[in-house]
Chain A
Amino acid sequence: MPIAATVNGKAVTLHADEDTPLLWVLREELGLTGTKFGCGIAACGACSVHIDGEVARSCSVPVGSVAGKAITTIEALGQPGAPHPLQAAWIAHQVPQCGYCQSGQLMAAAALLKQNPHPDDAAIDAAMTNICRCGTYVRIRAAIHAVAGASA
């Protein structure tokens, strides 16, 4: 049965089987490949998106559960010519290395700042549980602090 939802501000009708993880619907049905597949068990966070404003690991969210909900992916975190402050900070701090996990890192960080605009290190530790194998954590932390400080 088709599933109606909103993705990046647009109404969409999704046709995948209801048990299909949202990740694969975004990537294969909608062509939104910025959201990455890392582990398939919600352990690494590469697939992080926002569902009704909350961060979620889309590899473990059945598409049947998002009917009527609003989903935001990395492609719509900022607008063309108007990047999200975190995206600008990620460039200023030269955060990404291979970059594969960074869509998920940014979505997790954006959700954190929405809830807590001035997180301390403990709050960043608690919220930023996505894996980066290249080891960009030091710069991720610095970039989040830079945005949080700038909005003070």
Chain B
Amino acid sequence: MKLQRRYFLFAGAGALGAGVFGLWWGDRAALTRAKALTAGEGQSSFGGWLKIGADDTVTIYSPHIDFGQGSHTALAQMLADELDADWAKVRVEQAPADYAFGNTALAKLFVPMMSGHPDLVKHLPDTVFSLLARNVPLQITGGSSAIRGTGQVGFRVVGAAARAALIATTAERLNVPAAELVAAHSRISHAASGRVLRYGELAAAAASRTLPHDPVLKTPGQFRLIGKPVDRFDIPAKVDGSARYGIDVVLPDMRVATVIAAPVRGGKLLAVDHAPALAVRGVEKVIALDNAVVVVANGYWPALKGARALAPKFSDGGHGKLDSAGIFAAQAALIDTAKPDHAYGSGDVAAALASPGVRPLSAEYRVPFLHQAAMEPFALTGHFAQGHLTVWGATQDPIQTRNLLAKFAGLSVDQVTFHPMIMGGGFGRRFPPYTQIIEQIARVAMQVDHPVKIIWSREEDVRQGAYRPQSSARLRAALGPDGRIAAWQTDYAQFADAEAETVFPYQVAATARRHYTYISNQVDAYWRSVNSTQLGFYTESFIDELAHLAGKDPYQFRRAHLPEGGRHRAVLDAVASRSGWGTPLAPGRARGIALVESFGSICAHVIEASVDPDGTPRVHAVTAVVDCGMTVNPRNAEAQVQGGILMGLSSALGEAITLTAGAVDQSNFSDYPVLKLLDAPVIAVHFIDSGAPIGGLGEPGLPPASPALANALFAATGKRIRHLPIGRQLA
């Protein structure tokens, strides 16, 4: 089943409601299994997701991977706040890669929506349903969904329900009304009698109660942990070398392997002479896979030397003539001549564009494939022994990883264990369907008589990526006699229809957004903020062009098209005021502005930039304003926005994956330049506490970065950037 990511984005955002988690712990079999997997002697489990020890220790199981976004700590803040737990005694652990922690109840909500048949659930027998559910990724980390989905409609409910059970237990034990009891810091006190009971001594009895499905949640004024900049749990181990990432797994008698796959995606391995690799000291085995060759050795270095000694012959899968220029040409041809595959909008755009007295404008925009370039290259360790395959490593969905391992190894899911590890970045690269190393470790571990760790070289990581799709757009608009936008049309060609995850915030009478499906030999992959990167760049650059045509200030022009009293206008006003928009700048410097809503949050940047005499763009300062409803951990939220801005700037300045003869041209950080500290501007991040439904933060800081920079460079030089990356275009 192809994952329709947008349903996770939106369904996860709050539409589910607290009742989902009632279903969650209403699933008795899963609950029993979850308790068995986690709760030991002297520990009591609440809904599987929380356990309280007799020593008052509170352990929370996160179904999301924390790869630096801080979600483990923030999720714990949300649960512990509703629980009124003593923060000093709270711990977070990664939930096991087991269906008990994937929640078939959530699948019952997702699967019908994903299939496009909301009534499906009523007509399918449960047995069929559980088969379907097993193929749904249920521990997904993506779509900026952890806090606004799992945290807001899940973990807060778990915490509040457990607290209610603890209070009910105390009321019984002390024989007093529940209303006279106060919970705080993992203790429940009864003021009149002066008696105090610890959570640890109540947990066993409380956990045996039926948890309420709809406990009363706190109001913001009652929060003790939500909204506080508490330190992240994972940071101390990340500064002394003790944190164990997937690549760090060490097992007795372990072998190390590396891979060379077909350089043209879709190609197959035709032939390979094993001898040159086997001649390298330390190399033990060469394994031919369908589309790759794997060299197994007693260490990474001999494995790499062995792999480099090989001269495998690969087919090109019929893609040997594909190149980046050809993809752009094909996309332009689709927009010129094809019927759109998807069309949205309102009003009669064609009539408005052709009406007398309007001033039309048209422009073409292009963006390249982009690589996530997470710092930890792919690495998984596998061991097949006594009929059971055990795998260690990091992906963005442990349950689906386990299912895929079973499929590729030819085993049942019960014969496979997957241990999720700390992840050295992901940014969308490690979703299991296109994480090729899952298939590789499953097949290789079955053929090696020892534990074996596969490590990809950085070259393999860059060339065998799952990229943000290359995309082209033609934008057309017309200014009416009143100077306002009378019509707007975006035609874009790329892999996916972006409508469900992008927002056009401006008030324009006639709009059309039309998608033309273009499929290359590359997979349709996610890259931090997904389609909002390129769609944000198109919209926010082109509206800047329209402002220029109208002779208006780019901030005021946008503002005039945003609903009065709305959140978008408030964010735009705030970023203008915070950045000193319109105030004098040093000679040669100029400001650009951009506003993009994505993943439930509204974000605007003002970027101050200049261009060196040799044409090198310089980014000096970024002011960011974000309305994500509220922040759970403001310091961590700030870090997420800083990181999104820098990744957006990095991609805009210099990143591109290009194809020649079907194969990727780039190979390492030497030719895929990632922004360094030297080029990191001063960044000021401001949050608007709007009280709106809580939005995502891992991604929304990124999309406004490239258009705000391009708009600043236009203001500085008069040259409009319509193709990314900027590279040497200003030289």
Q: Give A contacts to B, CB under 8 Å.
A: 16-17, 19-21, 24, 27-29, 31-41, 43-44, 46, 73-75, 77-78, 83, 87, 90-91, 94-103, 106, 124-126, 128-141
Contacts and interface: CB of A to CB of B under 8 A. Distances in A.
A28 B457 CA distance: 16
A102 B240 CA distance: 9
Contact of A16 (B299, B375, B646): B299
Closest 8 CB pairs of A and B: A34-B241, A100-B424, A99-B238, A97-B68, A135-B646, A98-B68, A135-B643, A74-B241
A20 B678 contact: no
Interface in B405-447: 422-427
Contact of A87 (B239, B647, B675, B680): B239
A34 B372 CA distance: 23
A70 B483 CA distance: 71
Contacts of A103: 241
B108 interface: no
Contacts of A106: 239
A37 B374 contact: no
A16 B301 CA distance: 10
Contacts of B203: none
B674 A94 contact: no
29 contacts: A16-B301, A17-B302, A24-B299, A35-B241, A36-B245, A36-B375, A37-B377, A38-B377, A40-B459, A40-B668, A41-B668, A75-B242, A83-B239, A91-B231, A97-B70, A98-B424, A98-B425, A98-B426, A99-B239, A100-B424, A102-B239, A133-B372, A133-B425, A134-B643, A136-B639, A137-B676, A137-B677, A138-B683, A141-B677
Contacts of A139: 639, 642
Nearest to A39: B458
Contacts of A125: 677-678
B636 interface: yes
B299 A87 contact: no
A116 to B, nearest CB: 16
B334 interface: no
B683 A33 contact: no
Residue of B69, B256, B300, B683 with most partner-chain A CB within 10 A: B300
B405 to A, nearest CB: 23
Given A36-B376, A43-B670, A138-B642, A100 B683 contact: no
Contacts of B234: 96, 99
Contact of A38 (B301, B458, B670): B458
Contact of B643 (A29, A97, A99, A100): A97
A135 B425 contact: no
B669 A94 contact: no
B239 A90 contact: yes
A32 B643 contact: no
B247 interface: yes
A128 B642 CA distance: 18
Contact of B668 (A16, A36, A39): A39
A96 B244 contact: no
Given A32-B241, A96-B239, A98-B67, A20 B299 contact: yes
A83 B680 CA distance: 27
